[in-house]
Structure 1
Amino acid sequence: MTVIVRDLRPDVRADAEGFSTTRRLALPFMLSTPESVVHTVTHAHPDAHFGQLVAEEDGEIVGTAQISVAHDSPEPGQGSANIYVRPDRVHRGAGSLLLRTAEERLAALGVRKLFVWVLDEPDNHAFAERKGFRASRSAYFLRLDLAAGTLPPRLDPPPGVELRTAAEYADDPRPIFELDAMTSVDEPSDIDVEFTDYEAWLAQHWMHPLLDRELTTVAVVDGRPAAFSVAYTDGGTRYGTAMTGTARAHRGRGLAKLAKTDSLHRARAAGYTEAFTGNDTGNDPMIAINKWLGYEICAKEVRYVRELG
Structure 2
Amino acid sequence: MTITVRDLRPDAPADLEGFCRVRDAALPFLLFTPASVAHEITHTHPDARARKLVAEQDGVIVGTAQLGLAHDAPEPGKGFLNVYVDPAHEGKGAGTALRKAAEEYLTGLGATHLYAWTLDAPRNRAYAQRAGYRASRSAHFLRLDLTTASLAPLPERLPPGVELRTGADFAADPRPLFVLDTEVTADEPSDVGAEFTDYEAWVAENWRHPLLDLDLTVVAVVDGQPAAFSVAHTDGAGRYHTAMTGTARAHRGKGLAKLAKNASLHRARAAGCTVALTGNDTDNGPMLAINKWFGYEICATEVRYVRDVA
Scaled to the shorter chain, the TM-score interval is over 0.9
Give the Cα separation in 1 of the matches to 2:198 and 2:286: 29
Tell me, in whole angstroms, the C-alpha distance in 1 between the residues paired with 2:3 and 2:308: 27
* Between 149-158 and 107-116, the greater mean CA deviation after superposition: 149-158
1:42 Cα deviation after fit: 0.3
Partner Cα separation in structure 2 for residue 54 and residue 191 of structure 1: 25
Residue in 2 aligned with 1:23? Answer: 23
Q: Distance in 1 between matches of 2:158 and 2:274?
A: 25
User: Alignment partner of 1:178: what SS?
Assistant: helix
- Whether the aligned pair in 2 keeps the contact of 1:157 and 1:258 (CA below 8 Å) is no
Aligned residue identity for 1:128 = A
Structure 2 regions of 5+ residues with no counterpart? none
| Aligned equivalent of 2:224 | 223
Distance 1:294 1:141 in 2: 13
Q: What is aligned with 1:168?
A: 169
Structure 2: distance between partners of 1:163 and 1:219: 5
Structure 2 counterpart of 1:33: 33
The RMSD of aligned alpha carbons is 0.7
Residue 208 of structure 1 corresponds to which residue in structure 2? Answer: 209
Residue of structure 2 in register with 1:278 after alignment:
279
Q: Which amino acid aligns with 2:99?
A: L
Contact 1:227 1:247 in 2 (8 A): yes
CA distance in 1, matches of 2:158, 2:55: 49
Show the counterpart of 2:127: 127
Is 1:66 matched up with 2:61? no
Partner of 2:106: 106
Aligned residue for 1:242, secondary structure, equals strand
Deviation at 1:158, TM superposition (A): 1.6
Q: CA deviation at 1:176?
A: 0.7
Aligned partners of 2:270 and 2:235: how far apart in 1?
A: 16
How far is the alpha carbon of 1:149 from its aligned partner? 2.2
Equivalence for 1:257: 258
Separation of aligned partners in 1, 2:179 and 2:158: 22
Overall identity of the aligned pairs, in %: 65
- Alpha-carbon separation, structure 2, partners of 1:174 and 1:51: 28
Return the alpha-carbon distance in structure 1 between the equivalents of residues 21 and 205 of structure 2. Answer: 22
Structure 1 gaps of 5+ residues are none
Match of 2:45 in 1: 45
Aligned residue for 2:303?
A: 302
Is 1:150 aligned with 2:159?
no
Q: Where does residue 187 of structure 2 map in the other structure? A: 186
Aligned to 2:291: 290
Counterpart secondary structure, 1:175: helix
Residue deviations 1:147-204 (CA, integer Å, cap 9, x gap)? 1222222245321110000001110110111110011000111112100000000000
What SS does structure 1 have at the residue aligned with 2:250?
A: helix
- Between the two proteins, the alignment pairs up a number of residues equal to 309
8 Å Cα contact 1:112/1:308 also seen in 2:
yes
The code of the aligned residue for 1:90 comes to: E
**2:14 aligned with 1:14, yes or no?**
yes
Aligned equivalents of 2:22, 2:56: Cα separation in 1:
11
